[in-house]
Structure 1
Amino acid sequence: MIGVRFSAATTAERFLPQRLALRMVPLLDRIDAVLFTADERGEAGRMSVIAFSIRIISAVIAFVSQVLMARWIGSFEYGIFVLVWVTMVIVGNLACLGFHTSVIRFIPEYRERGMLPELRGIVVASRLFVLIASTLIAGLGALGVWLGSAWLENYYVVPFILGLFCLPMIAMGDLLQGLSRANSWALFALSPTYLVRPVLILAFMALMLALGYAPDARTAIFASIAATYVTTLGQLIGVTSRMERIIPTGPMKVYFGQWFVVSLPIFLVESFFFLLTNADVLMVGAYLDPNDVAVYFATVKTLALVHFVYFAVKAGVAQRYAQFTHGEPERLAAFARETVSWTFWPSLVMALLVLALGQPMLVLFGPEFTAGYPLLFLLVFGVVARAAVGPCESLLTMSGNQNICAAVYAMTLAFNIGLNVLLIPHFGLWGAAIATSFAMIFEAGALSFTVWRKLGIVMAIFVPARRDA
């Protein structure tokens, strides 16, 4: 055992205007202190409300920024940028190898049991592991793109290689989000990724265009790289500073093998879920040209107004699921049922709103983007079906059923990819929409059934709550 002091901010401070970053820390501390001081259920509810609010603002920011991006660089270059950026976000998330979620399970347990050496160990080890793993993956990815350039369209090679430079910071940002969620620091968890980064991407892009850079995908990727590094390093300073104040200096214990064994199935769950969420965009990119990618992505981005309800509730309840699984099955069941209502009804309202306003929203991207409006009527069924069962995968993962959850997602992902392969060549964007909607409906049914079989909890909005032996 060795003494440890959380000093990762030292390196980050060399790269940032540290006065601004450090001044934000006490402000966010005061806001979180006001928001998270009541009982346990209230804490989860407030975190979901904060997450919900952030995702509303984020959806508006993302929509405006993507409209401007499409207008600035045109649908073809925008399609290239979209495919590269979505791929980087997916791979960056996967590069955490599940640690960004497993820390949400371990940190509350160690804190409640007073296991400070283990708490220090997982905070330090997870950050080092994610940084090293993501850097290696980025290097291997760049090598793979270079070696496989003969099989890629020429306009994708350089943008993909450039995009890999921001992969380690995307992964670190996801881990820092997990560390913040484990402590119910809603603003530290969500605002960097969902508020700060998209605003900075837009700001850097506007600056580069004003300086005379070409309005193309490469410029957009350079702006994204700069924004990602500034955001993640600022978040690292904030989270590290706050950790130093709540965890006293002392010995550290590292049980990397145990953490990795738990993280690996979670990694599979998160991988399948993330791939499932974005497989349609990747498959469209594989079969169709960048213009089609742009239209489809703009349509999906419009649907994000419905998706964010699900993700906001998921962000707020995962930590509480983890705490209730320790000998409180009745409270877990009641709370889980409540989260289904939190997810479904706001999602339904947002779905109707999107269908009503979808066409004028897509016109903002450009006249050619309205081709995606009819797809919304099909895609919305899958989104609402997912919302109707609540955050089942978080409940399974936090209750120790991550293995079977991973199996469900593996089946769903295979089902989704199979449908895409069969339908996209014949029906184009309609094929992708059909595959995605059917896959989400299958996912919702399979996860709800699995929760009922494993935990005896009915996670379905219109099905009466009951427990079966």
Structure 2
Amino acid sequence: MRFSAATTAGRFLPQRLALRVKPLLGRIDAVLSTADERGEAGRMSLIAFSIRIVSAVIAFVSQVLMARWMGSFEYGIFVLVWVTMVIVGNLACLGFHTSVIRFIPEYSERGMLAELRGIVMTSRLFVLIASTAIAALGALGVWLLSPFIENYYVVPFILGLILLPMIAMSDLVQGLARANSWALFALSPTFLIRPVLILAFMALMLLLGYAPDAKTAIFAAIAATYATTLGQLVGVTSRIDKKIPAGPMKVHFAQWFIVSLPIFLVESFFFLLTNADVLMVGAYMDPDDVAVYFATVKTLALVHFVYFAVKAGVAQRYAQFTHGEPEKLAAFARETVSWTFWPSLAMALMVLVLGEPMLTLFGPDFTSGYPLLFLLVFGVVARAAVGPCESLLTMSGNQNICAAVYAMTLAFNIGLNMVLIPLFGLWGAAMATAFAMIFEAAALSFTVWRKLGIVMAIFLAAKGAA
């Protein structure tokens, strides 16, 4: 069966998906077998979905082993440093890792090869310079503030800043690959190769007699991140050079920066929102508590990856449909809500069933985080129920209002964490995160409806398509 008409897909797909999840995979397979415009996005999403499944397994196994090797205290230190570097590394791109997904398809379709060469080269140089400068300033800041920081965090954070330029470059190269629909090149280095290498380097260092502590883990992460990012950069650059013939280059840096800046704000708020709970737990509680909370959140990766997989596959198609094809954009956007929600719901139920034995693998102390899953899962499912709204807003030129929504949500989340963590500990962090996700989903869905007239909500989307 083909998705031959947007109205047919929008009207009947959600009803069938409501009965069971399996038909969704059949529908996605149907998308992959077609030659229409949805096929490419379907392939990207399915590849991303598959990579996320494998990645979730790899990440879970590696985190279990790291926790077992280091113990909860040292593992908590490593977790806080690693999460911080991933966030800051992403932000160090200043939005270019996402704006290239918007500009490259546009330039390719219009035959603007000079601009295409310009943005590919400029984005790489800019991100490398910006991230290196931020890393240097960060190291200086940690050194100057060391009297006010717990001493067991100072050296790990300074070492962690060595990671920052390569994390930023990895995010940019991932964006370049996604803009060209190279799903494997975009996702496999970060989500498959890097975690395996971190684990392998950590095991090797332990065999060589290094102490099983956070500093050793960070050295392993540095080696793995540099090896992965440089390999990904060489591979993607080689493919781009084959695709784009040599010729003159035009650089419109001011235009690209103006577009990237609101995207940077969106991504900043989104990443901070996604990880604010871990950072806030680290600010208010001990590394042992950080370890328990992070392990609990990691078990939700099986739910999160559905959302990110669909987001990775559809952003480029959103960008293409915004150029004079509002009907196709609306129909396709409604389909992506179903692609996101039903697998997320199924994964959420599975995590609730298997959560306790999964946490036991980290160690006996980690099972105290299991009850938190029942609260956290509400927020994750709420986000999935509206689909990748922020990608739709960003790719359609509404990145400013999207940034405003995330700013409000982040402020709401941090405020709740500051009030609830001192009162309820880890339960307070979980409550703040769940409430913030529900607020985020409602605000984004409402904004899409007001700005684009598209209903992005799982049950309402079917009515909007009718």
Query: What SS class does the counterpart of residue 422 from structure 1 fall into?
Result: helix
Instruction: Work out whether residues 36 and 46 of structure 1, in 8 Å CA contact, stay in contact via their aligned partners in 2.
Output: no
Give per-residue Cα distances to partners, 1:106-129, cap 9 Å, x unaligned.
000000000000000000000000
Deviations 1:26-77 (A, max 9, x none): xxxxxxxxx8993320110111000000000000000000000000000000
Do residues 152 (structure 1) and 149 (structure 2) align? yes
Which of 433, 451, 456 in structure 2 is aligned with 1:454? 451
Aligned to 2:4: none
Establish whether residue 392 from structure 1 lines up as the match of residue 389 from structure 2: yes
The residue correspondences of 1:15-414 to structure 2 (distance < 5 A) are 38-414=35-411
Give aligned-pair identity as a percent.
87
Partner Cα separation in structure 1 for residue 141 and residue 300 of structure 2: 33
Question: The residue matched to 1:463 in structure 2 has which SS?
Answer: helix
The amino acid that maps onto 2:452 is: L
Label 1:315 to 1:464 Cα distance change in 2 as closer, same or farther (>3 A): closer
State the 1:284 CA deviation. Answer: 0.1
TM-score (norm 2): 0.92
Report the residue type matching 1:420 in the other structure: N
Report deviation, 1:210.
0.3
Letter of the 1:256 counterpart: F
**Residue of structure 1 in register with 2:430 after alignment:** 433
* AA aligned opposite 1:171: A
Q: Is this contact kept in 2: 1:173–1:235, CA < 8 A?
A: yes
Unaligned runs of 5+ in 2: 1-31
Instruction: Judge conservation of contact 1:92–1:171 (CA < 8 Å) in 2.
Output: yes
| Aligned twin of 2:413 | 416
1:317-354 Cα shifts (integer Å, max 9, x gaps): 00000000000000000000000000000000000000
Q: What amino acid maps onto 2:264 in structure 1?
A: F
Partner in structure 2 of residue 4 of structure 1: none
Aligned residues: 434
Q: 1:335 and 1:311 mapped to 2: Cα distance?
A: 17
Report what 1:21 is aligned to. Answer: none
The answer to whether the 8 Å contact 1:96/1:130 transfers is: yes
CA distance in 2: counterparts of 1:47 and 1:184, whole angstroms: 7
For 1:334, what is the secondary structure of its paired residue? Answer: helix
In structure 1, the gaps of 5 or more residues are 1-34
- Alignment partner, residue 25 of structure 1: none
Q: 1:247 to 1:428 in 2, by over 3 A?
A: same
Q: Distance in 2 between matches of 1:315 and 1:86?
A: 21
Q: What is the RMSD of the two structures over their aligned residues, measured on CA atoms?
A: 1.1
CA distance in structure 1 between the partners assigned to 2:238 and 2:59 by the alignment: 29
Q: How far apart are 1:218 and its partner, in Å?
A: 0.1
CA distance in 2, matches of 1:313, 1:376: 23
d(CA) in 2 for partners of 1:279, 1:56: 24
> 2:459 aligns to what SS in structure 1?
coil
Q: What is the distance in 1 between the residues matched to 2:204 and 2:400?
A: 47
CA–CA separation in structure 2 for the residues paired with 1:377 and 1:231? 36
**Amino acid paired to 1:105:** R
Assess if the C-alpha contact under 8 Å between 1:138 and 1:167 holds in 2: yes
Tell me, yes or no, if the aligned pair for 2:334 and 2:461 is still in contact at 8 Å.
no
CA distance in 2, matches of 1:266, 1:192: 24
Tell me, what secondary structure is at the counterpart of 1:354?
helix
Q: Is this contact kept in 2: 1:85–1:163, CA < 8 A?
A: yes
User: Are the aligned partners of 1:100 and 1:176 in contact in 2 as well (CA < 8 Å)?
Assistant: yes
Q: Deviations over 1:127-171 (max 9, x none)?
A: 000000000000000000000001100000000000000100000
Q: Is the 8 A contact 1:457 1:466 kept in 2?
A: no
> Aligned partners of 2:241 and 2:128: how far apart in 1?
20
Return the letter of the residue paired with 2:237: T
Partners of 1:42 and 1:255 in 2: how far apart?
Answer: 32
Q: Deviations over 1:58-104 (max 9, x none)?
A: 00000000000000000000000000000000000000000000000
Match of 1:19 in 2: none
**Per-residue Cα deviation, 1:265-302 (whole angstroms, up to 9, x for no partner):** 00000000000000000000000000000000000000
Provide closer, same or farther for how the CA distance between residues 36 and 264 of structure 1 changes in structure 2, counting only shifts above 3 A. farther
- 1:464, distance to aligned residue in structure 2 (A): 4.4
C-alpha contact (below 8 Å) 1:37/1:43 kept by paired residues: no
Letter in 1 for 2:143: W
Paired amino acid for 2:49:
F
Matched position secondary structure for 1:184: coil
Q: Which letter does structure 2 place at the counterpart of 1:344?
A: F
Per-residue Cα deviation, 1:244-281 (whole angstroms, up to 9, x for no partner): 10000000000000000000000000000000000000
Q: Is the 8 A contact 1:341 1:390 kept in 2?
A: yes
Change (3 A) 1:162 1:132: same
Task: Give the residue type in structure 2 aligned to 1:118.
Answer: E
Write out per-residue CA displacement over residues 387-412 of structure 1, whole angstroms, 9 at most, x where no aligned residue.
Answer: 00000000000000000000000000
Letter in 1 for 2:270: F
One-letter amino acid of the structure 2 residue matched with residue 235 of structure 1: Q
Determine helix, strand or coil for the equivalent of 1:390: coil
